[in-house]
Amino acid sequence: MSFIVEHTVGFDTGPYKQIPSKQLDRVVLTYDEAPFASCTVFVGSSYSNCWQGGSGAAVDKPTGCVAVRVPNIDWQNRGGPQGLMPFNTKPGTSQIRRGEWDVTEAFRWQADSGMPIGGNPGFGFTLGSPFTSTKQLTAEDNTVCVSDVKNIRLIVSYTTFPNDVFVQPK
């Protein structure tokens, strides 16, 4: 059997938008990722480890089992899709290391008026499989990559500039 699990999140960008005279430097989406505690919930009693290779032996997943994408539908106001969340290819995201993704471009499009004309800003972030379809999964061996993801955070780094100072003429 093969399956894909996704989790889509949104963040309140209002406080950031209220800051006057700012320059967005970098935005990193972070989370804690570990093998899911009990794969028997998903794949049956013969799977004891949620991070295992094709032979069934436990393996380390240095880059984890999660990819971060930008959903292209307004799931918060219109509801989610039937099936996997559709996503934008631009703006992109890039993995820094397990549990850390640079989402600066996506955040700029969504919260900082950085979207080009005709672009789709996206709506939050989807954490899911690196695969975009179960058709990419063969289910021909004992590979399992199911993660427990907790403590999802968005770290926004920016520079502020002083407001113009009015000097009273003499």
User: Which residues make beta-bridge pairs with 154?
Assistant: 29
- The predicted-structure confidence for 143-152, as pLDDT tens digits, reads as follows 888 899 999 9
**Which pLDDT belongs to residue 166?**
45
Is 54 in contact with 142 (CB distance < 8 Å)?
yes
| Top-confidence range, 40-44, 126-130, 163-167 | 126-130
> How does pLDDT run across 28-69, given as a tens digit for each residue?
999 999 998 877 666 555 566 888 888 888 899 999 999 999
**pTM here?**
0.84
Decide if pLDDT at 169 tops 70: no
Condensed to tens digits (0 to 9), the pLDDT of residues 84-96 reads: 777 877 888 999 9
Single-letter code of the amino acid located at 109: W
Question: Which tokens go with 106?
Answer: 């996506």
Q: Please report, to the nearest 10 degrees, the dihedral formed by the alpha carbons of residues 74, 76, 82, 88 taken in order.
A: 40
